[in-house]
Structure 1
Amino acid sequence: MTLSVSHVSWSAGGTEILRDISLTVETGEFLGIIGPNGSGKTSLMSLFAGLRKPRSGVVLLDGAPIGSLSRRDVAQRLALVEQQADTGERITARQAVEIGRTPYLGPLLPWSPDDDRIVDAALDNVDMTHLAGRSWHTLSGGERQRLHIARAIAQQPEILLLDEPTNHLDIGHQISLLDLVQRQELTVVAALHDLNHAAMYCDRIAVMQVGCLVALGRPRDVLTEERIRDVFGVDAEIDVDGGGLCHLRFRTQRSHARVTAVRPANLSATGGR
């Protein structure tokens, strides 16, 4: 199953957020979307998910305009894990995962043993079976993110969309979560902040800048010192190991000018007049 955008633009409040973007997500690949804050990553993810309608252009899910499909049809094909998805409901960890079965339920399709089996498998997949009965509000950020992934797995999509999935997680949980996602037999599109994570996990990387797609390709081809300087405004040293993986080290820009503090003559040492 393919997912693509063709010449899409999108505006909000009279401001153009995305401009003339075209790309196709290849079946089975892990595509990363990177760019500074405000570059349009989350807006593009929303278009991919069919949550927003482009001002121009078209979003295609398996060749069909996503706007022509019902929300149930879309939800049976792709799942979105949002940046700050949460709930105020008093639910258990298992109930949070059961929400993933919603696209398959209806008046003539009640909950079945098959749904229980799918939810059990999703919880086991993310190593959360032992916490299935815990209240959502007692879980850590890392545990909640694992449940978001489990909910998406229970949805049985072919495409998984992740909007900054490692936000607010410590480094151990970040690596663990991306390892988990990579092990799934899914097409994955993930908006990522950490460029080293993008280099480690992504087959291809799309680089966003001020609402435009400025580069698309393999990490080693896209993550160049010049591009990182131009897009992110920082200097980086990039090493490519024997396996083709990029490793980035960032350099701080230090001013060599010395600043001398001068106390105004009319002020005392305590700041009084």
Structure 2
Amino acid sequence: MMLSARNVSWAAGGAEILRDVSLDVRSGEFLGIIGPNGSGKTSLMALLAGIRKPKSGEVLLDGVPIGTLGRREVARRLALVEQQAETGERITARQAVELGRTPYLEPLSPWSPEDDTIVEAALQNVDMLHLSSRLWHTLSGGERQRLHIGRALAQHPRILLLDEPTNHLDIGHQIGLLDLVRRQGLTVAAALHDLNHAAMFCDRLAVMQGGQLVALGAPSDVLTVECIREVFGVEAEIDQGSDGSCFIRYIHSHGFAPYGIIVRERCTAEVDCT
């Protein structure tokens, strides 16, 4: 199943947020969408999910304009995990994940033992089964984020859209969840901040800058010293390993470091650029 944006643009409050963006999320791939704050990543994710309608251009789900499909039909194929999604309802962790089964519930198809099994598996996958009876408002931000991903997995989508899914998570759960998503065999598009994570888990990267798509390709082709400097305003050193892996080391220049001291921040995590 493929999700495509064709020359999409979007504006809000008279300001152009996205301009003429075209890309395909190919069947079975993990596409990372990277870029600095304000580059249009979240707006692009909303368009891809069909939550917002483009000012111009179109989004296609398996070749069909997503705006022509019913919300239930879209929800059975595609799930979105947003940056911030809260509720004032007094629900438990398990009930939050059960919401993922909503697209499949109809008068003639009530809740079933199969739904229970799917929800249990989703809770287990995001390491929240032991907290399934806890009330939502008693959970930490990281625990809530893991439940959002659990809800999306319980939805049994074929395409998973993640908008900064590792927000509020410690490093262990960041890597664990991205690895979990990678192993689901889904078509995935994720807006990510951490370039090392993007290189480690993504098949291709789409680079956003100023509302435009400025680069698209394999991590090893996209994550260059020049690209990182131009898009993120950061100096970096990239070491390629003989096995195709690479190391990204960020360099704090004297213009940013306190008291004019040059500080080198060395990343010791190996990232896969294949």
Q: What is residue 118 of structure 2 aligned with on the other side?
A: 118
Query: What corresponds to 1:8 in structure 2?
Result: 8
Instruction: Return the alpha-carbon distance in structure 2 between the equivalents of residues 124 and 169 of structure 1.
Output: 17
Q: Which amino acid aligns with 2:200?
A: M
The within-5 A match list for 1:144-159 is 144-159=144-159
Q: Which residue of structure 2 lines up, in the alignment, with residue 235 of structure 1?
A: 235
Where does residue 91 of structure 1 map in the other structure? 91
Amino acid at match of 2:34: I
AA of the residue aligned to 1:10 = W
| Residues 191-235 of structure 1: CA deviation (Å, up to 9, x unaligned) | 001111111111100000000000000000000001111111110
Contact 1:122 1:154 (C-alpha < 8 Å) held by counterparts? yes
Whole-Å Cα distance in 1 between the matches of residues 126 and 194 of structure 2? 22
Aligned mates of 1:158, 1:132 — CA distance in 2: 25
TM-score, L = length of structure 1: 0.90
**2:209 partner amino acid:** Q
State the shift of 1:240 in Å: 1.8
Between stretches 100-109 and 223-232, larger displacement belongs to: 100-109
Structure 2: distance between partners of 1:244 and 1:43: 33
Q: Distance in 2 between matches of 1:173 and 1:87?
A: 23
Measured in 1, the distance between the counterparts of 2:220 and 2:191 equals 18
In structure 1, the partner of 2:195 is 195
| Alpha-carbon distance between aligned partners in 2 of 1:118 and 1:177, rounded to the nearest angstrom | 18
Unaligned runs of 5+ in 1: 260-273
Q: What's the offset of the Cα at 1:171?
A: 1.8
Distance in structure 1 (CA, Å) of the matches to 2:34 and 2:154 = 27
Count of residue correspondences: 258
In 2, the alpha carbon distance for the partners of 1:181 and 1:119 equals: 16
Partner of 1:61: 61
1:172-251 matches, cutoff 5 A: 172-251=172-251
Read off the aligned partner of 1:106 and give its amino acid letter.
E
Larger radius of gyration: 1
User: Secondary structure of the equivalent of 2:147?
Assistant: helix
Q: Shift of residue 142 of structure 1? A: 2.7
Q: Is the 8 A contact 2:145 2:168 kept in 1?
A: no
Tell me how large the CA RMSD over aligned residues is: 1.6
Mapped partners of 2:36, 2:150: distance in 1 = 29
> Is contact 2:79–2:160 with CA below 8 Å preserved after alignment?
yes
Q: Distance in 2 between matches of 1:247 and 1:84?
A: 31
**What TM-score comes out, normalization by structure 2 length?**
0.90
